[in-house]
Amino acid sequence: MRTPLPLLLLAGLLPAASAAPPATVTPGIDFSHEDWTLACDNTRTCRAAGYQRDDGDSEPVSILLTRLGGPDQPVTAELMLGQYDETTLPRQLRLQINDTALGKLAYDAGAGTADFSAAQVAALLASLSRSSRVVVVGDDGKRWTVSDRGASAVLLKMDEFQGRLGTPGALVRKGTRAEASVLPALPVPVIVLGRTVATRPADQALADSPALRAALVAATSADECEALHPDGTMFGDEGPQAITVQRLSADKLLVSQGCWRGAYNTGDGYWVVNDRPPYAPTLVTASAVDDELRTIQEAQKGRGLGDCWYSASWGWTGTRFVKTAESRSGLCRLVAAGGAWEMPTVVTKVQEPH
C-alpha cells in the first residue's frame, strides 16, 4: 500500500542534483488515455502505468514502465496485483502475451508485486505498440489481464517528451535519427529551506485584523477560497474561519485559514503577506492539508474509495515558497489503498540551510 503523502525522492532513479537553487521548478507532464496514464517529471524521467479495462471483468492489476531521460536508457517494468480488497495472492506468476508463454515473473508473493526481465520488457513493449493481450497467470490458475487500450498513445507521448521520436530507441515511432540527439536528463533541483524567526505577539493579533481579512478577500477569488467570501456557504453557520498567523522572516508572514470542504477532501489556504500594510497577499495554495511553517503539504483523494491520490508540497526558500514535489498515484482502479504507484511530475532535493 502506498501512502498518499508528498513524494519522497527516489534518489537511485534520479540524475545528480543541481547546485543552483531555482526560483521556480518547471513541472513535467501528465497524460491519460483509456486504461493507461503517464507522468514525466522535471528531470525527464517518465513513468507510464497500465491497468485492467475499466469496463471489463479482469481482476485489478497494474504495470508500471519507467524510463530515465537521456540517450540509451532502458525501460524497466514492474507489476502490482490488486490488493485494495482482501485477496489470496498466488505463490508464483507467469507472463503471457498474445497467448505466448514468456516464463515466470520475478515475483514477491508477500507483496503481490513482480519485476520483468529484460526479455519480458522487450516483448511487452513490442506488443503494446499494437493490439495485444497481456495476461499474468497465477499458479492457482487465477488470471489478470492488463488492457492495451491507450498504451500506444501514452508511449508516443513519453517518446515525445523525452525527445526520442524518430530514434532507434523510440517505443512507438522508431527511426534513424541519432540516439545522441535524445534530450539529456536534467538534474534534480536543490531547494534550500530558509531560516525562520520567532512569531511575535503582534503577529498573533493580526489574526483578528479586519484589514488583513479584507486584503485576503481582495486577492483571492471565491473559486479559490469560498470560505473567505461573505456569500460562501461551504462552512454553513460556522461564520468566518479563523486565521492563523506565523512569522517567516523579518518582514513576511504566513497566514492560513480553511477554504473549502468536499465529500472526502478539505482545503486550507496559505498566503505569504507583508507584516504591515499593504499586506499584498500571495497565494501559495488553497488546497493544503497541513504545514510545518517552512513546508506546506497538499494531499487529496481522487475519489472517496482512496485508491488514487494527488499530493504536492512547497518549501520556503527565505523569499518565496517553491513547489518541491508533485505526484499522482495513477488511475482509480482499486489496485491498492493509497494508489498503486508514485508518478511524480515535480521532484526536488530539499535541504536545510548551511
CA distance 147 to 53: 5
Closest CA to 44 of 351, 344, 350: 344
Banded pLDDT at 12 (limits 50, 70, 90): very low
pLDDT recorded at residue 210: 96
Number of H helices, E strands in the chain: 4, 22
pLDDT recorded at residue 8: 38
pTM value? 0.91
The domain locations on the chain are 28-181, 190-351
More confident residue, 183 or 22: 183
Other beta carbons less than 10 A from residue 281's beta carbon: 21
Banded pLDDT at 5 (limits 50, 70, 90): very low
pLDDT tens sequence across 201-245: 999 999 999 999 999 999 999 999 999 987 655 665 666 899 999
CA distance 149 to 51: 9
The dihedral sign for the CA sequence 119, 123, 129, 132: negative
Q: Which three cell numbers stand for residue 14?
A: 534520479
Q: Which residues pair with 106 in a beta bridge?
A: 115
The whole-chain average pLDDT of the chain stands at 92
The dihedral sign for the CA sequence 87, 89, 90, 96: positive
pLDDT recorded at residue 131: 87
Banded pLDDT at 130 (limits 50, 70, 90): confident
CA distance 254 to 245: 6
CA distance 73 to 146: 24
pLDDT recorded at residue 90: 96
Contacts by 216-221, CB closer than 8 A, 24 or more apart: 216/243, 216/255, 216/257, 216/269, 216/271, 216/279, 216/281, 219/271, 219/280, 219/281, 219/282, 219/283, 220/269, 220/271, 220/281, 220/283, 220/286
In angstroms, how far apart are the furthest CA atoms of the chain? 73
Q: CATH assignment of 28-181?
A: 2.60.40
